[in-house]
């Protein structure tokens, strides 16, 4: 039996996630991935934005930074550049990472800075009460699409590929062992790694759209028609290493 307690901040429990939410499943996969890689909690920094998924950082006994809405990648970029030896993991959601913070995702990928970004895609703004997000499927209902969503949803993995992301993957909160492996592979990848994780919001999103019980919603993730697994893996110069090279050159050493 895996000992999750060693990674939790007990004093932060109970967590704020609703019963049946997929986020806890992802958190556990992340902790197993960290354990699998034998990373010390001291050397890990977790950086998040605002939203349900971003509350994850409060629960994990690492160096944790809960920032402003959409800006986790920008804070993480500064931290990583300042301390390249720290393993920086960014937690974001579909609203945080693709709407208000979409610009930072493009540029973190373009720079190929060694961050691992986990984007929890539950298709909705959960924390604010269920508003439509950039990944809400067409015609689904939310508090701000009471007549059905009229906007096209988009594929964040293709966005990151287009921006030059060197590690792009998609997993689900249903298949937790492959997810754990994807996260571990993403952390190990040198450069920007992006993992979209399809998850569920049964309470706010599922009930309104009659998507079934929490268990049925998780099972539905298994039937996604989107490709899962590692979608792209290439290598390119990593940003903080390139910066060190610039310093060496400016100092006449390179």
Partner 1 sequence: MQGTVRLMQGNQACAHAAIAAGCTFFAGYPITPSSEIAEELARLLPRMGGKFIQMEDEIAAMAACIGASIGGHKVLTATSGPGFSLKQENLGFAVYTEIPCVVVNVMRGGPSTGLPTSPAQGDVMQARWGTHGDHPMVVLAPASVREIYDLTIQAFNLSELCRTPVILLYDEVIGHMREKTEVPDPSQFKIIDRKQSTSSPDAYLPYKGDEDDVPAFVRFGEGYRYHITGLAHDERGFPTQNPRVVEAKQRRLHRKVEQRREEIVAHEAFLLDDAEIAIFAYGVTARSARAAIRTARKEGIRVGLFRPISLWPFPDLELEKLAGQVKAIVVAEMNLGQLIYEVDRVVHGQTRIVAYQKASGEPVHPEEILTAVREHR
- Binding residues (CB under 8 A) for partner 1: these are 9, 11-12, 41-43, 45, 47, 57-58, 61-68, 71, 74-83, 85-86, 103-104, 106-107, 243, 246-247, 249-251
- Report the nearest approach of partner 1 to the CB of residue 125 (Å): 17
- Report the nearest approach of partner 1 to the CB of residue 156 (Å): 17
Residue-wise over 226-247: b if at least 16 C-beta within 10 A, else e? eebebbeeeeeebbbeeeeeee
Between 1 and 13, CB nearer to partner 1? 13
Nearest to 17, CA basis, from 53, 41, 61: 53
- Report the nearest approach of partner 1 to the CB of residue 228 (Å): 29
Q: Looking at the chain, how many residues does it have?
A: 254
- Report the nearest approach of partner 1 to the CB of residue 110 (Å): 9
- Report the nearest approach of partner 1 to the CB of residue 15 (Å): 12
Between 46 and 195, CB nearer to partner 1? 46
Side-chain half-sphere CA neighbours of 34 within 13 A: 27
Between 1 and 3, CB nearer to partner 1? 3
What is the separation of C-alpha 89 from the centre of its chain, rounded to a whole number of angstroms? 8
- Report the nearest approach of partner 1 to the CB of residue 144 (Å): 22
How far is it, in rounded angstroms, from Cα 188 to Cα 16?
30
Between 86 and 220, CB nearer to partner 1? 86
How far is it, in rounded angstroms, from Cα 24 to Cα 47?
17
Between 13 and 150, CB nearer to partner 1? 13
């Amino acid at each position: 039996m895996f000992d999750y307690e060693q990674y939790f901040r007990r004093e932060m429990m109970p967590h704020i996630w609703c019963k049946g939410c997929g986020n806890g499943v992802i958190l556990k996969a992340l902790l197993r991935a960290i354990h699998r890689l034998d990373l010390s909690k001291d050397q890990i920094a977790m950086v998040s934005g605002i939203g349900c998924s971003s509350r994850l950082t409060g629960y994990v006994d690492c160096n944790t930074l809960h920032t402003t809405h959409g800006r986790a990648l920008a804070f993480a970029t500064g931290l990583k550049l300042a301390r390249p030896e720290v393993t920086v993991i960014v937690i974001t959601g579909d609203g945080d990472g693709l709407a208000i913070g979409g610009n930072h995702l493009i540029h973190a990928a373009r720079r190929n800075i060694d961050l691992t970004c986990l984007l929890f895609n539950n298709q909705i703004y959960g924390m604010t009460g269920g508003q439509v997000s950039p990944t809400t499927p067409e015609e689904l209902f939310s508090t701000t699409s009471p007549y059905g969503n009229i906007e096209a949803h988009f594929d964040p993995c293709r966005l990151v590929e287009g921006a030059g992301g060197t590690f792009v993957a998609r997993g689900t909160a249903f298949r937790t062992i492959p997810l754990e492996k994807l996260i571990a592979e993403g952390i190990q990848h040198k450069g920007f790694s992006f993992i979209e994780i399809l998850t569920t919001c049964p309470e706010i999103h599922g009930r309104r759209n009659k998507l079934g019980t929490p268990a049925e919603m998780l099972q539905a993730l298994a039937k996604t028609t989107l490709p899962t697994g590692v979608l792209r893996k290439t290598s390119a110069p990593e940003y903080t290493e390139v910066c060190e090279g610039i310093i060496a050159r400016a100092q006449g050493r390179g």
